[in-house]
Amino acid sequence: TLDKEHVQQLLALFPKGDPEYFYACLQYYKQDPVERITEKILDRGGYYPQLPVQKKGDNRLNACLSILALDLFPDCDVSYLRERVLQYSYAHIEQVVDAILSTGKYPERLEYGKMDPSEGIRSEKYKSQAQLQLIQDYPQIWKSSVRAVLAENNWDYIKCYDHLKEMGSNGFWNTIRNFFFYWSSTPSHHTKLTVTDPDLLDQLNQLQQHAVRKQVEKDRQLAVQLNLTEYTDQQQLITCDCCYSDESFEQLVFCSEGQHAFCHRCVTHYMSEGLFGQGTLRSQPRIHCISMDECTGYFGQNTLRHLLSDDIWKAYESSLLEEGVRAEQQVLCCACPYFELDESTKPLEWVYTNRVLKTMARWMMWDIQQDLEIAYGRVTKSRRGSLFQCKNPTCKTLTCLTCRRPVRGAHTCWEKESDGLRLYVEKAMADAVKRTCPNCFLSFQKSDGCNKIACPCGYKMCYVCRKDIGKESYDHFCSHFRAIPGSKCNACNKCDLYKTEPENEAVQKAADRAKRQYIQAHPEIASSDMLIGPASAMDKLGDWKQQTTLWILEKGLNLIV
């Protein structure tokens, strides 16, 4: 009780403080604990562990985990952070950060900056009620099995519900057995459980809404089928003007003129191809009728919104938005269509209108456009920074503006291309020593054994000279005795039965050739400090002139744009 009074006094002085932290501090001070703890906090610059901002119905451990997983370590595995948080009784954020920074290593997660609600820390109230609810939902499954499934799935009710549903669906005979084993005239699980935890109530509502949507979709499909059957019986089907299939009226879309009808499949395919394929429909405010006749009609926006899937409709809306914004002013997310307008830099075309600059470039025979573009790129990069945080609530990806890749942990630009170079070279090295069956085109490489290769298709070939030896078999190989095994035969020129020529030289040549080809196709991964030298004095002078010119242009553009 005395400690409780002291904690209340400390909370009055530091209202945002962590009570568990204050309880831990009281163990070190027997006399005047409040004064001494207050003095210690003030000596540390007024810093003390505070309670994180909690959402309604949430617990403080989960609030700490959210800060660690979304703000401080967005690339760290959530389960690793969760285990760390549960190790401490107070100042969870501070102690977890100290522990991670002291080791310097942690497992990474695949989804950068994202945390699924099922990965959170559940309260004891939630765990207890979730277990009772699952036992009531699946009375035929042992209670110990329910608890084990909960432990495996971080006590998340929805995940466990689906998991137990799969476990419970073991066929007709298992259903009959469970009926006789678990049926009772007054079963205890018929008593409705009172759920008070807000998170569990929300998940129960999600399951209910999912069941309703699933039933509505089943009813819709049944209605469509019955409607199609009725149209067929009455011979009232309407032909699509694109694929010429017969459909009911409800499964057709009409142009604004009302003269042409198209089925949902054709319109969806047309929009998908126009946006993601040929791109002819991007930034088109009106989608015209796709009839072969000269029709002035079009498809209405409401019609397309109702017909198209969410991803296709969002892509169409994004294309309309991009049309009104200059490409160089867009700061794009690499994972979704979200972008922001960069108004910190004026368009480069505004600089081209400067007559003095154009006249000077003409007199100096200076290709100013290329140098201006390089300098303008440096200015925009310095103003925008190197990273872009997507504000799309379903994405939130951190994009590197240099290599246009998601930033995860210790980011290295062009890391993917570097891996591609490695894989491309490794494939070329393997291709240099592999053999391919001309009959079934199966590729293989011999690790040991003789040089007579039998393909699964029945084709037989020599591994050394690749000749078809289906008829001559082992007669193709040298059978003369040699005093020194592996030495060249002086009696014939046949292939050796076991020996193969060294492949190191062929592998190295293939690797060098593949590396040159890949760097030519991906010049962005070539190191900027790679020089072909030694450079002459004229080369050094030209490079100095180029860099000086770009520096002057960059400083000038920084003032103009």
Give the residue from 483, 501, 499, 480 showing the smallest Cα distance to 491: 480
Contact present, 68 and 113 (Cβ < 8 Å): no
Give the residue from 264, 268, 282 showing the smallest Cα distance to 327: 282
Q: Is 181 exposed, middle or buried (0-12, 13-18, 19+ CB in 10 A)?
A: exposed
Q: Within 13 Å of residue 500, how many CA atoms lie on the same side as its CB? A: 20
Provide the residue type at 285 as one letter. P
d(CA 61, CA 43): 28
Residue 484 has φ and ψ, to the nearest 5°, of -105, 110
**pLDDT of res. 328:** 64
**pLDDT of res. 442:** 76
Give the residue from 164, 85, 169 showing the smallest Cα distance to 119: 85
d(CA 87, CA 290): 64
- pLDDT mean by block of 10 residues, the chain; 561 residues: 80 82 84 86 80 63 87 86 88 88 82 83 89 89 86 89 76 48 46 81 91 92 90 90 90 90 93 83 88 88 90 86 67 82 70 64 63 76 82 83 75 65 75 76 76 82 84 88 80 83 76 75 54 63 77 75 66
Residue tagged 């660690």 (tokens): 68
Helices (DSSP H) in 281-367: which residue ranges? 301-307, 310-323, 349-352, 355-363
What number of other Cβ atoms are within 10 A of residue 440's Cβ?
11
Question: What torsion, rounded to 10 degrees, do the Cα atoms 188, 191, 194, 197 define?
Answer: 50
Provide the residue type at 62 as one letter. N
d(CA 537, CA 241): 72
Task: List, in order, residues 6 or more apart from 541 with CB less than 8 Å away.
Answer: none
Contact present, 227 and 250 (Cβ < 8 Å): yes
Task: List, in order, residues 6 or more apart from 323 with CB less than 8 Å away.
Answer: 283
Contact present, 289 and 295 (Cβ < 8 Å): yes
Task: List, in order, residues 6 or more apart from 377 with CB less than 8 Å away.
Answer: none
Contact present, 432 and 445 (Cβ < 8 Å): no
**pLDDT of res. 351:** 64
Residue tagged 């291709």 (tokens): 431
Contact present, 415 and 407 (Cβ < 8 Å): no
**pLDDT of res. 326:** 61
Report the DSSP beta bridge partners of residue 406. 399
**pLDDT of res. 75:** 80
